[in-house]
């Protein structure tokens, strides 16, 4: 019994670890959102003033945004790995435990096995419920992030802003719009022919 309790105690850290990771992802996402709002303002300012100081600030903020987004991705990958490994290890070890216990017990130990088996299943059910709740929280947190681009996913990696101020998506991942590099800062970039027409029309006014 002590061995079984020790096993579940070692697994019980998983929900707490996932919760901590979710908090960190939320904090990073809030930072990225603030940076992107600042970038939007600076891009408009740069178009009007062509200030080298503004350009440097844009580059620095963009690099910071990319690094924070990559950190979010790394944490997300780690969370999924931790949860999946915990579930697999839990199932595999419990199956082995049941098999070993059945093969080693004498007939007069049946009642003890039934009690132990019931305890074991209750503990496993509790751990699995906590893990599933953590996974659901993680998915909900991911879904609550602002969505951008034609892929309708959160911000990550390298992104470019559409110069049409009325663009509904505003930010786009470079790979989604088939860009290998950022467009020149002194040239407007539009995500579509519709945004190009609308954006240039507003520029002429």
Is 109 among the annotated ligand-binding positions?
no
Helix (H, G, I), strand (E, B) or coil at 160: strand
Is 72 among the annotated ligand-binding positions?
no
What lies within 8 Å, CB to CB, of 23 at 6+ separation is none
Is 176 among the annotated ligand-binding positions?
yes
Burial class (CB in 10 A: 0-12, 13-18, 19+), 93: middle
Is 167 among the annotated ligand-binding positions?
yes
At 23, which helix (H) or strand (E)? helix 13-49
Q: How far apart are CA 183 and CA 9, in angstroms?
A: 54
User: Nearest-CA neighbor of 124 among 20, 19, 12?
Assistant: 12
Is 195 among the annotated ligand-binding positions?
yes
Q: How far apart are CA 150 and CA 177, in angstroms?
A: 8
**3-state secondary structure labels for all residues of 145-159:** CCCECCCCECCCCCE
Is 173 among the annotated ligand-binding positions?
yes
Is 93 among the annotated ligand-binding positions?
no
Strands (E), the chain: 159-161, 171-173
Is 149 among the annotated ligand-binding positions?
yes
Q: Which two tokens stand for residue 149?
A: 């681009």
**Annotated binding-site residue numbers for Zn(2+):** 149, 151, 162, 167, 173, 176, 191, 195
**Annotated binding-site residue numbers:** 149, 151, 162, 167, 173, 176, 191, 195
């Amino acid at each position: 019994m002590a061995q079984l309790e020790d096993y579940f105690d070692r697994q019980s850290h998983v929900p707490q670890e996932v919760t901590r990771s979710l908090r960190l992802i939320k904090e990073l996402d809030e930072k990225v959102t603030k940076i992107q709002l600042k970038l939007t303002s600076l891009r408009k300012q740069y178009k009007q003033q062509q200030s080298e100081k503004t350009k440097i600030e844009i580059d620095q903020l963009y690099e910071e945004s990319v690094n924070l987004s990559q950190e979010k991705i790394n944490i997300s990958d780690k969370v999924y790995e931790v949860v999946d490994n915990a579930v697999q290890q839990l199932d595999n070890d419990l199956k082995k435990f049941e098999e070993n216990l059945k093969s080693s017990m004498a007939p007069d130990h049946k009642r003890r096995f039934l009690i132990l088996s019931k305890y074991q299943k209750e503990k496993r059910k509790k751990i699995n419920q906590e893990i599933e709740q953590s996974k659901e929280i993680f998915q909900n947190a991911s879904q609550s992030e602002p969505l951008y681009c034609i892929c309708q996913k959160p911000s990550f990696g390298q992104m470019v802003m559409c110069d049409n101020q009325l663009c509904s998506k505003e930010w786009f991942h470079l790979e989604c719009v088939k860009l290998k590099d950022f467009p020149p800062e002194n040239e407007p970039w539009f995500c579509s022919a519709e945004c190009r027409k609308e954006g240039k029309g507003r520029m002429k006014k």
